[in-house]
Amino acid sequence: MSMDALEALVEGPRARGAFVLRLELDSDWSIRVADESLLTVMPVQAGSCTVTTEWAAAHASAGDVVVVRGPGAYSVASDPDRPPDFIIEPNQVCIDVDGNRLVESMRRGIRTWGTTAEGVDRILVGTYARPLEVGRLLVELLPRNAEVTQARDRIQSVESGAARGGTL
């Protein structure tokens, strides 16, 4: 039995092995991400941010999900015109603009990183660095620019359907 293209798409991509953390940031911040990852998924839990790639900029607020296809560099910031305060390099090495490593000074707990323990802006980050971690077909189907999905409406819709006995 051979799989058709749709079956391959549904069965093939398995996102495993993500680097995951929660960003907790006060207002007025900017992060330049140059980690060369293939795919990054960022659900915004609180506040907002603007993600700027080589091709486009996308604003996201609490409840939105930003998807960025790599491996190109991009910025995540409270203000898209703000210069970077921090730089994320390959292997998730974080430095300030002077090249100082920020591993300990920005750690705010288990898988939590930022300028404060409870930031105005809170973003979950899932980064897939290698092709084995996320299906190559999935990555190739995504657009090159940052995409924002307003997940809160879809989540409410799914929850409503499940409450009425609908299938997911």
Residue 131: inside a domain:
yes
Residue 45: inside a domain:
yes
Residue 113: inside a domain:
yes
Q: Average model confidence (pLDDT) for the chain?
A: 77
The identity of residue 13, as a single letter, is: P
Across the range 124-132, mean pLDDT stands at 79
How many other CB atoms sit within 10 Å of the CB of residue 32?
20
User: For the domain that residue 77 is a member of, what is the CATH number?
Assistant: 2.60.120.10
Top-confidence range, 6-10, 19-23, 74-78, 105-109 = 74-78
Q: Is 157 exposed, middle or buried (0-12, 13-18, 19+ CB in 10 A)?
A: exposed
Sheet holding 121-128, edge to edge: 107-109, 112-114, 19-25, 121-128, 39-46, 64-69, 147-150
Q: Both tokens of residue 25? A: 């940031």
Q: For residue 146, is pLDDT > 70?
A: no
Residue 8: inside a domain:
no
Residue 19: inside a domain:
yes
Q: What is the reported pLDDT for 75? A: 94
Q: For residue 163, is pLDDT > 70?
A: no
Residue 70 zone, left/alpha/beta (φ > 0; ψ -120 to 50; rest): beta
pTM of the shown model: 0.74
Confidence band of 165 (pLDDT split at 50, 70, 90)? very low
Residue 49: inside a domain:
yes
pLDDT tens, 62-102?
Answer: 999 888 888 889 999 999 999 999 999 988 888 899 999 98
pLDDT tens, 129-140?
Answer: 776 555 666 667
Counted domains in the chain = 1
Residue 3: inside a domain:
no
Residue 79: inside a domain:
yes
Domain of 91?
A: 15-163
